[in-house]
Amino acid sequence: MQRPRLGLLGWPRNYVLVGLPLLQTLTPEQAAAVVAHELSHLRGGHGRFAALTYRVNQLWANLAQSGRGGIVRGFTRWYVPRFNAWSHPLRRTAEFEADAAAAHITSAATLAEALCAIEVREPALDRLYWTPLNKSLAHEPLPPTDPISRLLAVARTAHLPADEAATLLRRAAEADPDPLDTHPTLGERLTALGQPVATPAPPTTTAAEAWLGASLPALAQALDAAWRSERTGSWRERHAILRDQLAHLEKLNRQLVSGTPLPEADAWTHADLTEDHVGEAEALPLYRALFDSPKYGTPARFAVGRILASQDDPAGLPLLEEAMRAERNCVGPGLAIQKAYYQRQGDHGAIRQLATRQYQHADLVEQAPPSAKPLVPTTNY
């Protein structure tokens, strides 16, 4: 992060912000490698270059979206792709340079361990902490009093099963580079470092514990109070919404138990709320029952396809394609879901085909007049 010392006159002061949960999942040596990578960006002037390219890109993107005159619009369509094509390789090169500097300051093995640890511990933390916390919203009217302290306790030992972590790392290492992402893939970075893909052992002492020492508990308590103060209002609002949803779901269930069939709109709501509050398996037959509905047949097919694809069931793919042909709002999400499916399968040919379709779809959306662009769906599918 850069903050100008002299306001509009510039002379920025540089800061490296490192998340406390990240420090609690890495060893001191691994965290030092991450910080060294970021400091190398600053030492090499990468931050100034990245900020410049971002500002230029945003300027022309805003001009293109404003639709001010055919000449400007035509020029931006010619200029922006060429500017991105010029700047993108330079930004990727900056990432490799920062990795090399960090490896020199610490070691290639240590940086590789940090990269692999981040790849597997972030999803572990999502599963073990953030998902249960979000689920508690429906049942707890107030947020917990010690959310950050709990987070740090979970983060210290959070890990996926060994086979799952190995699979996740293998997929990340074998993934194709994203042409739109300035960061190289994990595989590219490890290859440049000359290091193998490996699941690092949990830290015996975390960077947060080593660097913050006895002040860590007090810092966590201060963050607990700040987090709770900032989020209590939004937590209460979300809790009220979820409680209303649960009450509505219970009402619909009672109606079904009584033998009264649900109108199509209520049947869709019942399926949607069942997925959110009970589970995907229970929602699947409810969505399938709506396949013949003129209004809800397409979103129901999309919902079933989405669920099956997320479970690595290929039966969901033709349902997604069917929904995409029927409703253009489904095309963007449908392509993303299919791409994620094939990424998990390691099918690079299919991934490349879907990436091409995504770019083609993005071009069609960009070229469409404002009135013809897809609207935000009003139903949750």
Q: How many distinct structural domains can be found in the chain?
A: 2
Q: Which domain holds residue 356?
A: 261-372
Please say which residue of 186, 219, 252 terminates a domain. 219
Which residues sit opposite 4 in a β-bridge? 12
Q: How many CB atoms lie within 10 A of CB 301?
A: 26
SS3 letters across 178-234: CCCCCCCCHHHHHHHHCCCCCCCCCCCCCHHHHHHHHHHHHHHHHHHHHHHHHHHHH
Together in a domain, 14 and 96: yes
Together in a domain, 278 and 201: no
- pTM of this structure: 0.81
Q: How far apart are CA 232 and CA 238, in angstroms?
A: 10
Together in a domain, 300 and 368: yes
Q: How many CB atoms lie within 10 A of CB 94?
A: 19
CATH number for the domain spanning 297: value is 1.25.40
Helix, strand, coil percentages in the chain from 3-state DSSP, rounded to 5: 75, 0, 25
Which of 119, 126, 112 is closest to 34 using CA atoms?
112
Supply the pLDDT for residue 78: 62
Which residues sit opposite 13 in a β-bridge? 3
Is 107 within 8 Å of 195 (Cβ atoms)? no
Together in a domain, 211 and 158: yes
Within a domain: 225: no
Supply the pLDDT for residue 208: 97
Q: How far apart are CA 223 and CA 33, in angstroms?
A: 26
Together in a domain, 25 and 99: yes
pLDDT in tens, the chain (381 residues): 667 666 666 667 777 888 999 999 999 999 999 999 988 887 755 455 555 565 566 566 666 666 554 555 666 666 666 666 666 777 788 889 999 999 999 999 999 999 999 999 999 999 999 999 999 999 999 999 999 999 999 999 999 999 999 999 999 999 888 776 778 999 999 999 999 999 999 999 999 999 999 999 999 999 999 999 999 999 999 999 999 999 999 999 999 999 999 999 999 999 999 999 999 999 999 999 999 999 999 999 999 999 999 999 999 999 999 999 999 999 999 999 999 999 999 898 999 999 899 888 887 876 665 544 443 344 443
